[in-house]
């Protein structure tokens, strides 16, 4: 029944990711938000009369019922942003999805590198992708990519070949297989890694879905490696998201005669780190120390914790930058007393840490 209200609130016309989280912050659950009075809803920033009427009219109910049946009939599940296994790195991006559809295993904290590139990759691009992906996975790094043809497919296969983990972020529903020739890879990913999407089940792989998908690829990763990309490429959109999200951008240099090299070569000119071996990436991951050239990266025990809506509102702000307690109060729908209480709860969970001068930051 809980899924019904999460899906329903997201399905209300005019409710985007930001509005969804504001409603949850105020009402503590999607069910309470959907059952709130007109006056209570109208007091929320961004709630226009049209949106309030859409909530109160129940236009969302039929879709929520149908979607719940589809989820129950599939092997997918919903992971909400309050869940212990929702990737906490997504709180660092401007509009994290309130929930993800997931097949396989999702981890709240995981060292991950995204590998993206051309769907029409050359043999050089495919071989290089496979080699780097396998090497990263053998060092305990999870590989994130988009399950598309070309570089994406080679990245996922390289990680699985090293018995590593890989996450595929889809521009369609997790019940869809696109491209169709990757059916076996989809099955392997669901068993040995994970498949995730913010799109409802049955969503087709439409072109407009992929830029939104790309921000999640960046959000899940510590850095983005571009192997081959033309000058106008979706991979460069992912790289741009990475810069906006404060991630490292890496690029593999290519033959200047190939159109698929121009995007990567331009990224290098603009300051992306040139990569010709896996060490070029590993040495940029200071949060982990390599024990030796042949040993897996040392990873501290993962910090897994669930969040309440009010805790999530504060954690999301601090995930982007440390803040003074007064700034937290002014940027949320919470009272000073609620902020102080939630900060204490987050400290006890090991999610945030106090800094001098009543500033707070997410725990490292």
The residues, ordered by sequence, that sit 6+ positions from 329 with a Cβ below 8 Å of its Cβ are 335, 336, 339
Residue 296 is predicted with a pLDDT of 55
**Strands, sheet with 352-355, edge to edge from the N-terminal-most edge strand:** 323-324, 359-362, 352-355
Residue 258 is predicted with a pLDDT of 86
Token pair 């990224």: residue: 267
- Computed over every residue of the chain, the mean pLDDT equals 91
E strands in the chain: 77-80, 99-104, 112-116, 142-145, 166-169, 194-197, 223-226, 248-251, 273-274, 323-324, 352-355, 359-362
- Which value, in Å, is the radius of gyration of the alpha carbons in the chain? 21
3-state secondary structure at position 283: coil
pLDDT at 97 over 70: yes
The residues, ordered by sequence, that sit 6+ positions from 163 with a Cβ below 8 Å of its Cβ are 137, 192
Residue 299 is predicted with a pLDDT of 52
pLDDT at 83 over 50: yes
Question: Distance between alpha carbon 217 and the CA centroid of its chain, in Å?
Answer: 6
Calculate mean pLDDT across residues 56-75.
94
Residue 291 is predicted with a pLDDT of 39
Residue 295 is predicted with a pLDDT of 54
The residues, ordered by sequence, that sit 6+ positions from 276 with a Cβ below 8 Å of its Cβ are 252, 253
109, 304 Cβ separation under 8 angstroms: yes
Strands 323-324 and 359-362: antiparallel
Calculate mean pLDDT across residues 135-142.
95
Question: Residue 248: pLDDT band by 50, 70, 90 thresholds?
Answer: very high
Match domain 104-282 to its CATH number in 3.30.470.20, 3.40.50.150, 3.40.50.300, 3.40.50.450.
3.40.50.450
Q: In the chain, where are the structural domains located?
A: 2-73, 104-282, 309-362
Classify domain 2-73 at the CATH class level: mainly alpha
pLDDT at 290 over 50: no
Residue 1 exposed, middle or buried by CB count within 10 Å (0-12, 13-18, 19+): exposed
What fold characterizes domain 309-362?
Arc Repressor Mutant, subunit A (1.10.10)
Q: Specify whether the backbone of 132 is left (phi greater than 0), alpha (psi in -120 to 50) or beta.
A: alpha
Alpha-helical (H) ranges within 270-360 are: 279-282, 309-320, 325-330, 336-348
pLDDT at 349 over 80: yes
Residue 43 is predicted with a pLDDT of 87
Which residue(s) pair with 114 in the sheet? Answer: 144, 224
Least confident window among 93-107, 206-220, 243-257, 300-314: 300-314
């Amino acid at each position: 029944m809980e899924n019904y209200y999460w899906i329903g609130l997201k399905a209300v016309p005019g409710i985007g990711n930001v509005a969804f989280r504001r409603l949850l912050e105020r009402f503590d659950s999607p069910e309470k938000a959907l059952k709130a009075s007109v006056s209570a809803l109208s007091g929320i920033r961004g709630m226009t009369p049209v949106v309030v009427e859409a909530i109160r009219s129940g236009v969302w109910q039929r879709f929520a019922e149908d979607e719940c049946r589809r989820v129950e009939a599939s092997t997918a599940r919903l992971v909400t942003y309050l869940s212990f296994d929702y990737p906490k790195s997504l709180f660092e991006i401007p509009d994290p999805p309130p929930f993800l559809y997931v097949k396989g295993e999702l981890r709240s904290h995981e060292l991950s590198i995204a590998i993206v590139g051309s769907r029409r990759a050359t043999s050089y691009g495919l071989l290089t992708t496979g080699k780097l992906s396998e090497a990263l996975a053998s060092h305990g790094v999870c590989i994130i990519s988009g399950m598309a043809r070309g570089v994406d497919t080679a990245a996922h296969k390289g990680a699985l070949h090293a018995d590593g983990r890989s996450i595929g972020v889809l521009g369609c529903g997790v019940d869809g297989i696109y491209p169709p020739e990757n059916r076996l890879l989809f099955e392997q990913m669901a068993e040995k890694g994970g498949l995730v999407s913010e799109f409802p089940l049955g969503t087709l792989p439409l072109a407009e879905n992929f830029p939104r998908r790309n921000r999640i690829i960046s959000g899940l990763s510590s850095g983005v490696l571009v192997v081959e990309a033309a000058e106008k490429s979706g991979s460069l959109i992912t790289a741009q998201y990475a810069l906006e999200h404060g991630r490292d951008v890496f690029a593999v240099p290519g033959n200047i005669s190939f159109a698929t090299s121009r995007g990567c070569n331009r990224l290098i000119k603009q300051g992306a780190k040139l990569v010709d071996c896996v060490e070029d990436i590993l040495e940029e991951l200071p949060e982990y120390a390599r024990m030796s050239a042949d040993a897996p990266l040392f990873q501290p025990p993962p910090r897994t914790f669930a969040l309440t809506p009010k805790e999530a509102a504060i954690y999301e702000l601090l995930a982007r930058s440390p803040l003074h307690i007064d700034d937290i109060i002014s940027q949320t729908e919470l009272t000073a007393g609620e902020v102080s209480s939630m900060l204490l709860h987050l400290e006890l969970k090991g999610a945030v840490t106090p800094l001098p001068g009543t500033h707070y930051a997410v725990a490292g």
